[in-house]
Every structure is written in C-alpha cells, then in structure tokens.
Structure 1
Amino acid sequence: MPRVTTLLPATEGAVPIRCVDAAGWPAVAAELPPLAAAFATASGFEAKPGRIALLPGPDGTLATVLFGVEAGERGDPFAVGRLPDALPEGTYRFEALPGDPALAALAWQLSGYRFGRYRDRPAPKARLVAPDGVDAGEIDRIARAVAAGRDLVNTPANDLGPAEIEAAARALAERFGAACTVVSGEALERGFPLVAAVGRASPRAPRLIDLTWGEADAPKVTLVGKGVVFDTGGLDIKPSAAMLLMKKDMAGAAVALAAAEMVMGAGLPVRLRVLIPTVENAINGEAFRPGDVLASRKGLTVEIGNTDAEGRLILADALALADEEAPDLVFDFATLTGAARVALGPDLPALFTEDDALAGELAAIGLAVNDPVWRMPLWGPYASLLDSKIADLNNVSGGPFAGAVTAALFLRRFATKAGAHVHLDLYGWNAGTKPGRPEGGEVQTARLVYALLKARYAVPGEARSAS
C-alpha cells in the first residue's frame, strides 16, 4: 500500500497557519503580536499567492505561519498544498482558511505523495491536524486511493504489464471482499475478440478483468478503465517522442481502480462493477493491421483504419459486456485522444454523455471537489465519419477533425442499454508539480466520480470510512 501520512487529531502545540489575501492583510497584521508583526515587515512578507512567512514567538520558536492566497474565483482550492514541502518538520493546524477546509486538508495530503519504487523519496515531515468538522478518515482514504492509482501510472511498462494490473485488481478485491474474475487465452479470443486482437502481438497476454462488489439488488454502477500498459502505436507506429509517456496509457485502469477503492471504502450502497481490458499494443508478425476487419463482442464488425486507435477497440468489448446487464450508470475512463488535449489542455478532461442533467451534475461536482471536467458534444452527424465500405464501422474517421468527438461516438455504439453512459477522455499526467498534484501520474476524475456516487447514493449516517 502506498505510503501516505494521516491527518492528526487535535493536539496542543500545533503551529497555526493563517491564510491571508491582500485585502485582509492589514487587519491580520494589526492582530499579530508586536514581535511577529515586526518580523513579518522586516522579512518583506506580502500577502501575494504562494508567499510564506514563518513568524517567531517570544522564545524564538516558530509561532505562526502566514500564507498568501488569492481571494475569489481565481483562487486555487489546493493552494495550501504548497505548504508541506515548504514548512519545517512539525505539527500544524489551519487557523484561518478562505475556502473549503476539507479540500485544504486533502490538498495537503495529496501534496505529500512520493513515488519511491526506484529510489528513496522522503515524504514531507510537516504534519497537519484535521480541521474542525472535517472527516479525517474520509480524507485519508481518498488520499490513499489516489496514491495507489498514481503508483500504477508512474510504474514503467517493464514492471507493469497486464499481469501486474490483474494483481492490483485482485489485491483490491481481497481487501474489500469483492469477487474478481479474469478472462484470457482462448476464452478471450471467443468472448472479447477486439481485446485479443490488440494484445496479440505482445508476449504479455491480454486479459479482461471483472471485479464485482456490493448487493445484487443495489443500483448498478460500472466503471470501465482502458488498460493499455504501453502503446507503440502498433504497425502505425508512433514516432519516438510520442512514446515517451506511453507507460501512462493505462491511466484509465488506474482511475477505475482508485474510484472503486473510494466507493468500497465508503461502503456506498451500490452494486459496483469494474471492467479493465488490459493489453500491450506491441509489434510482431501477429500484430493486427491497418485494413483488417475485426469482430467485436457486440457483433459489430470494425475496419481498422489505424492501429494507433487501439484504446477504443478494447473499451468497445468491455462496454459491450457492461451493457449486457443494463446498468444504471456506466463510466469509461481513457487516455484516448490527443484531440481532447488540443481542445482542453492536460488539466481538463473531456466529458461526453447524452444525459444533460448528469453532465450538469458532474460539471458542478467537479468544481466543488477540484476535479474538473468540461463537456464536449456527441455531435450525431459526425458519426458518418466512421462509416466503412466493408464493415459496420471504422475505428477512425480518417480525417484531422473532431477526433475526440468521433472516438466518443465510436464508443457510444457499444453502450446502448445503460441508463446513462459517460465517457471521460483524460490525460492522466501532471507535466509539472502544482499544489496537490505532484509531477507524474494522476488519476483525474476518480474523485469526481466518487463524489457523484456519494451524493446520489450515500444514506446519511451509513457511509463509513475505511481504516
């Protein structure tokens, strides 16, 4: 399990942290003891975003921390995530916060994540007391789930193949008493031909992971995660520069597992199913080819216009399986298209759904928990761009336009019975360190989906926090 610190109970001697903006600084300065106020002035502290002042007490020990923030809508809810790395070892508490104290506590915990598999990377030694009214167990549980997902994304493909993703899913299932079955070999060829075709060229066998948890008669929620452990592009091979981050092409699987850990840890009254098709898109004499026509689990035939559009193929078979039991909600998570990144950048996953109310709910919750998404259109007329002359559809449009939209329209063909289907096209990576988001793998939208399910299904007083 990833090393994640826990929030501390209330304790005497915790150093107070006061968040101040430019407008409020004069009043705060007037309240400070004379020695502390003089030190703040002498050190040149200004209440600008990210500025920190460590103020001494009469005995010279650290008495107060001042932290500059930006007020209003432009303020970063995770801004205090800068503090764990900036403060000396010790115990701290928030005395004044401009925003949600639960988000501030979570930002602190998420900022302390370190990927230490290959070299020691000590975590910050500054510890935080849980703010008043904040469920510390809930915050710690979310932080652990995010850390576990980040670890998967950060692990390079030589140490993380389909078998290792299976092991992670089985370990999670064992922790929470879930069932976990895996389809591979000849059974995969028969039941999930697209998954089998994409993974056939790798010596590491493809598979379909199926985890179920919860009461059978509870609302059915299915999470589908793209698990391409490395993507060469196949015979339509990527240039070398485009392969550098392809270890993260399984981030959708990591998101699904992280969200599942949050849901099961909270004991939400849902029947949860997690489906992960996991493959390596490699190259050898058995690799699938441009121009091939492949069968799918749903019965639709797919002409391959580009072998580098493999993620939608494996998701299609998994979505078809999910759809067979007509779940109430289906979410699929995938690092699917560069087009979504061009449109929205790396920090804002693209949201596709036909359910207007659900789209609005997700957008609002995403802002509230600082795990945002932006809705993009499932523009029906573009479906004709996927027409094939010899098969039911092509896996790409063959043109330069609307790549994220046509990918979502492709997936829609395989999820027709669910009460609602949400496709999330995400980046899964932080290119640089920001508060609460260290550089490296990221499980974008996992917290969002958990928050939505909690808002919809948690019975007051019954959802629990896992230890």
Structure 2
Amino acid sequence: MSLPAGFTSSVDAALPLHAVRKAEFATWCQAQPAPVQAWLAAQRFDAAPGSACSWADGDGRVAGAVLGIDDPHDPFAWAHAPRALPAGDWQLVGHVAPEAARALQLGWGLGRYRFARYKAQPAPAAQLAAEHFDAETFDILAACVRVRDLVNTPTEHMGPDELEAAARELAQAHGATVAVVAGDALLAQNYPAIHAVGRASHRAPRLIELTWGEAAHPHVALCGKGVCFDTGGLDLKAAAGMRNMKKDMGGAAHALALAGLVMARKLPLRITLLLAAVENAVGPNAFRPGEVIATRKGVSVEIDNTDAEGRLVLCDALTRACELTPELLLDFATLTGAARVALGPDLPALYANDEALANDWLAAGQHERDPLWRMPLWRPYLRYLTSGIADLANSSNTTMAGSVTAALYLERFVEDGVRWGHVDVYAWNDGDRPGKPAGGEAQGLRAAYALLKARAGMAVASS
C-alpha cells in the first residue's frame, strides 16, 4: 500500500507522541521526567483540546511532544497535530484502540491538506509514523481530498467538460463505464430541464452517467448537482453571493467521491452515478423568469427564479435514476442558502422519505463524527410552489422554508416506492480551523459511506 504524503512506515527514528485528555493531564504529567514536567509547567500547557507542546533533550534536539485531545475517536480531535508539531517523524505511544488509531490517521491527513494547484503551500514537515496503516482510512481520506480539490478548483478549470473528465478518470481506474448526453442531444434524449439551465453557456450542459458493479448486487443511485458556476442567471446574484459560486458543483463532487470510495473498497453494490453538469450563465439564450420548461418526467415547471436552477437540473437526473428502479437513491446538492440560515455552515440538511434510511444515516453521522441534521418534508408547504400556468413552480414567492420547499420540489420527481435521501450541503469552510482549511469541504460523505457499507453488509448477510 502506497502511503499519502505526511505518513511513513519507518518507525526507527520516530519521536514519541503522547495524547492526553485535559482531565487526565495532571496524572500523566506526574509520570514524566522532571525536566519535562518543568517545561510543560513553564509553557502553561494543560492539554486543552487542540493544543500541542514539544520539548527538547539536553542537547537541544526535539525529544517528544504531547497533544491535548478530547474525543480520540473524532478525526478532527487530531487534525491540529501535523501543523503544530516540529519537523520529524512522530509515533503515537501507549495503547490506542483501533478506532482511535483510524481517527488519528484520517485526522492527520485532513489536517495536512492544503489546496496547492496554483500557489505553493508550505507543507508541514511532521510525519506520522506507524508500522500499520488502515487502507480503508486512506481511501476515505482520498475521497475527502477529492471533494476538496474539485470544489476548490475555479470554474475556468472545472467546468462541465472537466467534471466529465474527472468521472471518466475515476471510471477507468475502477473498471466502470461512462455515458454522456451533452448539448442539444439533451433535448433529443429528453433531458430538457438540464438543457434549459445550461444552454446559455459556451460550455455544453450534460448528464454524466457512470455505472459499476454486478447486476446481482443491490442497486444504489447517486445523483449530484453539478452547477460548475452559478451567476444566478437573469435573476443575477449580487457580487458577494456570486464570489464563491465555483463551489456550486459541490453536490456532484460529493456524489463522485462517494462512488469512487464504494468502488475503491469494492463494496458488493451496483452503482449508478448521475451528474447533471452545467454552467448557469447569462446570455441571449438564457432561460427567463416566467417561462415554462419541460422536464424528463413530463411535469411542467414555471420559472419563478432563475437562481433556483439546481433543483431543475437535479429533477431530470432524479427522474432518470428512478427509471432504473434503484433500491436506494441518494442525492447531494449545494441547493439553498436557507439551509445555511437554519443550520449554519457545518451541518448538512438531510431529507428522506424513508424513516429507516434517515435514522441509519443520522446514526452513521454520529458514529463517524460527520453529523447531519434531519429536516422535515412538510408537504403542506407544497402550496408555496403552486403555479397558475404549470404543474409546479421552481421557487416560492415567500422567504419562508426555502430549504424545505426545495426538497419538496425534488421529491415530486422521485417515484413512489423509491427510498430517497437528499442532502443540502454547504461543501465549504468559510475560515481556517484545524483539519478544516478555508475552501471546499466534504460534509456527510463519510456518514454516507458508512451507511452504504452497512447496507452492503446486510445484503451479503442475507444472501
């Protein structure tokens, strides 16, 4: 197994790294040599969560370090380490439960990450040394990094073409197949909503469909909103709202990374990945407020607001997914600012039409320290999407329940009997925190993988 940067399997010269909870620090400290005790006291170190302190030997060379942690099973409890420790190889000492060791490895990798495509970033010189690394943890780390890299890449280099290329690269690595419907072929093959949103851009809109797995395995469909840049269309966003809209393909990044993780781990599942990739641009051919557009399902939609475009591209993708009769349908989308108003930047909003699915996903989020928060599919609010001239409006004329009405719009395109979960995700860190650098972020991804892994295990057990 090749190791990512920041990790080494050579432990011969590794320095001792201790991890201590604040409540246990006094007892631990008393067991250390007197010079170490004196140094820690002089630094006023108390093992507060997220802290670190190193010390030197009599020759002035770094001799050891201690981390203050809270929950050892939380990857982000360890994420400060690679940037807080001095240069060198570090090995955690003492007994560590396997789950905590995996959390350390994942947290170390997440804490080390910086996006460096355009600007060299100072990489931490500290390396984590261990005789054994967990391959699954590194695959999860790679999936999180994939989301971050895709979201952080500006639209100039991450348009619909490049998103398709990323899907094709992943497919080639894992023996999957890819089919793409692009440009005016979207109209010929009945994806009119995707075409309507993307037609004003010089970059052709497209539906990217990746398939992988054996026919006998449970079928899971993954859909992602791939709006590679969102101007808001003719309902133009203000400058502040448009500034970070390269991230509006964050849902597609999550779905793509999740599919890649399932394939890398060879879970006994059959995967269909559907990415609706467009650029919502302003131009002579842009779709307009007040127009009525067709959808793949045959539901007519009046355009109340061209900035509510994500649900339009997703509705065609969801319809296609349901035609394949999956046992489970999950979608990811940077869909509404209303979800951020309700839950803030760290908590993705989860909607589901199946209680067991919702409960299992929430439980997986708690276990993986990758939380989500369930929101209601409060169907009386469908009245906010009433149109006088079409079957449905794409947006509401009220500011209330914006995330709920967006989810209700999507549910209209999910067939009865299909178990469906929708995540309204921010996919972004507004500022730097340990393990969460400013920029693109994977949220709910690790929980989704744990959910699918458990479902795959149940399927194997029952076969």
TM-score, shorter chain, exceeding 0.5: yes
Asked whether the equivalents of residues 258 and 443 of structure 1 are also in contact (C-alpha less than 8 Å), the reply is: no
Q: 3-state DSSP class of the match of 1:158?
A: helix
Q: Distance in 2 between matches of 1:67 and 1:460?
A: 41
1:332/1:90 Cα in 2 relative to 1: closer, same or farther (>3 Å)? same
Asked whether the equivalents of residues 106 and 141 of structure 2 are also in contact (C-alpha less than 8 Å), the reply is: yes
Unaligned runs of 5+ in 1: 463-467
Q: Which amino acid aligns with 1:371?
A: D
Asked whether the equivalents of residues 102 and 131 of structure 1 are also in contact (C-alpha less than 8 Å), the reply is: no
Q: Does 1:325 align with 2:324?
A: yes
Q: Distance in 2 between matches of 1:107 and 1:326?
A: 37
Q: List aligned pairs for 1:161-240, cutoff 5 A.
A: 161-190=159-188, 191-240=190-239
1:454/1:432 Cα in 2 relative to 1: closer, same or farther (>3 Å)? same
1:176/1:11 Cα in 2 relative to 1: closer, same or farther (>3 Å)? same
Q: Does 1:377 align with 2:367?
A: no
2:334 matched residue in structure 1 = 335
1:251/1:30 Cα in 2 relative to 1: closer, same or farther (>3 Å)? same
Deviation at 1:100, TM superposition (A): 2.5
1:433/1:131 Cα in 2 relative to 1: closer, same or farther (>3 Å)? farther
1:361 matched residue in structure 2 = 360
2:109 matched residue in structure 1 = 109
Q: Which amino acid aligns with 1:316?
A: C
2:149 matched residue in structure 1 = 151
Q: 3-state DSSP class of the match of 1:170?
A: helix
Q: Which amino acid aligns with 1:181?
A: A
Deviation at 1:418, TM superposition (A): 5.3
Q: Distance in 2 between matches of 1:383 and 1:273?
A: 29
Deviation at 1:58, TM superposition (A): 4.7
Q: Distance in 1 between matches of 2:416 and 2:58?
A: 69
Asked whether the equivalents of residues 326 and 417 of structure 1 are also in contact (C-alpha less than 8 Å), the reply is: no
**1:196-250 deviations in whole A, cap 9, x for unaligned?**
0000111111000000000012100111010001101011111111100100000
Deviation at 1:416, TM superposition (A): 1.4
Deviation at 1:417, TM superposition (A): 4.3
Q: Distance in 2 between matches of 1:71 and 1:281?
A: 42
1:121 matched residue in structure 2 = 121
1:420 matched residue in structure 2 = 419
Number of matched pairs: 456
2:52 matched residue in structure 1 = 52
Report the TM-score, using the length of structure 1 for normalisation: 0.93
**1:248-273 deviations in whole A, cap 9, x for unaligned?**
00001111111111110000000011
**1:124-167 deviations in whole A, cap 9, x for unaligned?**
221113486xx521122221222122111001112211001011
Q: Which moved more, 1:51-60 or 1:308-317?
A: 51-60
**1:361-418 deviations in whole A, cap 9, x for unaligned?**
1111112112110000000111122111111111012111100000000000111145
1:398/1:71 Cα in 2 relative to 1: closer, same or farther (>3 Å)? same
Q: Which amino acid aligns with 2:53?
A: A
Q: Which amino acid aligns with 1:81?
A: A
Report the TM-score, using the length of structure 2 for normalisation: 0.94
Q: Which amino acid aligns with 2:136?
A: E
Q: List aligned pairs for 1:4-23, cutoff 5 A.
A: 4-5=4-5, 7-9=7-9, 11-23=11-23
1:454/1:397 Cα in 2 relative to 1: closer, same or farther (>3 Å)? same
Unaligned runs of 5+ in 2: none
Q: 3-state DSSP class of the match of 2:157?
A: coil
2:68 matched residue in structure 1 = 68
1:439/1:140 Cα in 2 relative to 1: closer, same or farther (>3 Å)? same
Asked whether the equivalents of residues 327 and 418 of structure 1 are also in contact (C-alpha less than 8 Å), the reply is: no
Q: Distance in 2 between matches of 1:272 and 1:6?
A: 32
**1:272-324 deviations in whole A, cap 9, x for unaligned?**
11100010001111111111001100011001110000000000000000000
